Structure 1
Amino acid sequence: MLDDFLIRAGLAGIGVALATGPLGSFVVWRRMAYFGDATSHAAILGVALALAFDLPIGFGTLVIALAMAVTVAYLAARGWAMDTTLGVLAHSALAFGLVAASFVPAARTDLSAWLFGDILAVSKGDIGFIWIGAALVVALLVWRWSALLTSTLNEDLASASGLNPDRERLVLTLALALTVAVALKVVGALLIAAMLIIPAAAARGLARSPEAMAVLATVIGALAVLGGLALSLSQDTPAGPSIVVMAALAFLVSASLGRLRF
């Protein structure tokens, strides 16, 4: 019989996979890996501020992640060189967050959990927050799916079709900020981008359509969660990094089986 904390951890991880699977597909298609890094790293500042002002952690991380995501989207629309800009923002946001956390006694003791995740410590309330957030992300992506795909393939075509590429970019920005807030407790700020990118990259080599890739990325992410928890339980390894290790192994398998298409 599985322990209650393992069941909670599994449910939390699967909830995160539901959000990161389809959203990670867009991150891969749009080559937004650094975008995810900048947003997730900024969440540490949100943790510090939330603890300092006695606010819910989820609220603090969501606000700061959203602010960073909007800033990045604005700079992208203004034509900034994104690779350098995102590199500066990602590492600066993490540094500011760590420095701010050093002034908050409550944040010092929990800092490693926010950096690398603490999925084994999730509560029933955390699971509710994760699943509600994941449901909102999925609903947002399903609602704007066709428009997002068109804008991703060709922004000029999207504009000619009456779509607004900037608005679709904002939709992804909102979804990414919400996903960061949802996933922070499970895999931590340093590993969120890995959960967005690796399952989607693994699914890309197997899928015949965008929809199939989104579904496969979700399934691979969920299996990585369960496999990582099993590895952590049997070998006493850190749960968050173990989940990412299993996702990386799934990518290696996908790369070797790339001729199979679903």
Structure 2
Amino acid sequence: MIMPLLPDFMLFALIGGIGLAIISAPLGVFMVWQRQSYFGATLAHSALLGISIGLFLQLDLTLSVIIVSMMVAAAIFWLSQYKQLSSDTLLGILAHSSLAFGLILISLQDNIQVDLMGYLFGDILSINRVDLGLILLTSLLILVFYLKHWQSLLNATLNPELAQVEGVNVKQVQLLFVLLLAFMIALSMKIVGVLLVTSLLIIPAAAARRLSTSPEQMLVFSIIIGVFSILVGLFTSYYIDLPTGPAIVMAATFLFLLLQLKPQPNN
């Protein structure tokens, strides 16, 4: 009997990680273009509020995190319509207030049995068939959204006023994008942790800018960089016995730093 090259848990982690890198790329490129990098950090803080509310009301924690994350995303979108405060200020307020409320709710409860660190850092090596199904579901939602709204979202990102004049419902498209981003982060949180998800959203997209002369090129290079980071991080952690999530993030970071030495192409 021929021994498999990889055990099942590594095979599932490999498939799930590649799937996650692929679905992160379309969201990440617009996240970077729209300067929403702090959005993921805000959802990381709101995740604790979702967990604490789920525990307090005895709800399914994954469902609770998804609902709270999407409510926070909607609140960010609604508050961003008011120009008195900058977007980074609003994100900071929501991030720290969500964290504070979450900690207060947790402190009011006794005998809590939940791995809070697991939701922040996740465990990509624990991915199973159900998790792969969730990743597939998320990829289908993202595919449907971009097939319908790619050009509208691109126009709204580059020039919202001109897009509005051309008949694009800018607010609706941006709201759908923010809600989809929140859903993707919340759903993936239990699988790989919100810190790994936000890293896969931001770092490959930022690195891809050094190689790209068009939005489509940036999307393709972002997918390639994300998949490469997953492969390097997983195999490094497997053979050198390093923490898997941080190994993936460091692989993406080193690639990002390496690409900064390359002159940016002329647009």
Give the corresponding residue for 2:81. 77
Query: What is the aligned counterpart of 2:32 among 20, 28, 32?
Result: 28
Give the corresponding residue for 1:238. 243
How far apart in 1 are the matches of 2:235 and 2:104?
A: 34
How far apart in 2 are the matches of 1:145 and 1:116?
A: 31
Give the corresponding residue for 2:139. 134
Map Cα deviations across residues 138-189 of structure 1 (whole Å, 9 max, x no partner).
3212320000000000111011101121112102112211211232134312
How far apart in 2 are the matches of 1:120 and 1:133?
A: 19
Shift of 1:128: 0.8
Query: What is the aligned counterpart of 1:68 among 65, 72, 82?
Result: 72
- What does 1:220-239 correspond to in 2, within 5 Å? 220-239=225-244
Larger deviation: 141-150 or 175-184? 175-184
Question: Contact 1:16–1:182 at 8 Å: present in 2 too?
Answer: no
Give the corresponding residue for 2:49. 45
Shift of 1:18: 1.8
How far apart in 2 are the matches of 1:65 and 1:74?
A: 14
How far apart in 1 are the matches of 2:208 and 2:67?
A: 31
Map Cα deviations across residues 181-211 of structure 1 (whole Å, 9 max, x no partner).
2321343123432221101001111012101
Question: Contact 1:13–1:186 at 8 Å: present in 2 too?
Answer: no
How far apart in 1 are the matches of 2:112 and 2:71?
A: 25
Question: Contact 1:150–1:158 at 8 Å: present in 2 too?
Answer: yes
Shift of the 260–85 alpha-carbon distance from structure 1 to 2, 3 Å rule, reads: closer
Shift of 1:239: 1.3
Map Cα deviations across residues 36-75 of structure 1 (whole Å, 9 max, x no partner).
2212331232234345555444322211110010000000
Question: Contact 2:56–2:105 at 8 Å: present in 1 too?
Answer: no
State the secondary structure of the residue aligned to 2:69: helix
Shift of the 16–52 alpha-carbon distance from structure 1 to 2, 3 Å rule, reads: farther
Matched, 1:106 2:113: yes
Shift of 1:257: 2.8
State the secondary structure of the residue aligned to 2:167: coil
Query: What is the aligned counterpart of 1:145 among 129, 146, 150?
Result: 150
Matched, 1:120 2:125: yes
Give the TM-score of the pair, scaled to structure 2.
Answer: 0.89
Give the TM-score of the pair, scaled to structure 1.
Answer: 0.90
Shift of 1:21: 0.6
How far apart in 1 are the matches of 2:48 and 2:15?
A: 24
Matched, 1:200 2:205: yes
Question: Contact 2:44–2:120 at 8 Å: present in 1 too?
Answer: no
Larger deviation: 177-186 or 217-226? 177-186
Shift of the 100–10 alpha-carbon distance from structure 1 to 2, 3 Å rule, reads: farther
Give the corresponding residue for 1:179. 184
How far apart in 1 are the matches of 2:135 and 2:260?
A: 30
RMSD: 2.1
How far apart in 2 are the matches of 1:17 and 1:125?
A: 18
Shift of 1:20: 1.2
Shift of 1:235: 2.4
Query: What is the aligned counterpart of 2:194 among 167, 189, 194?
Result: 189
Larger deviation: 44-53 or 229-238? 44-53
Identity of matched residues, %: 39
Give the corresponding residue for 2:14. 10
Shift of 1:101: 4.6
How far apart in 1 are the matches of 2:101 and 2:193?
A: 16
Give the corresponding residue for 1:163. 168
How far apart in 2 are the matches of 1:178 and 1:6?
A: 26
Question: Contact 1:224–1:244 at 8 Å: present in 2 too?
Answer: yes
Give the corresponding residue for 1:86. 91
Equivalenced residues, count? 260
Question: Contact 2:47–2:68 at 8 Å: present in 1 too?
Answer: yes
State the secondary structure of the residue aligned to 1:105: coil
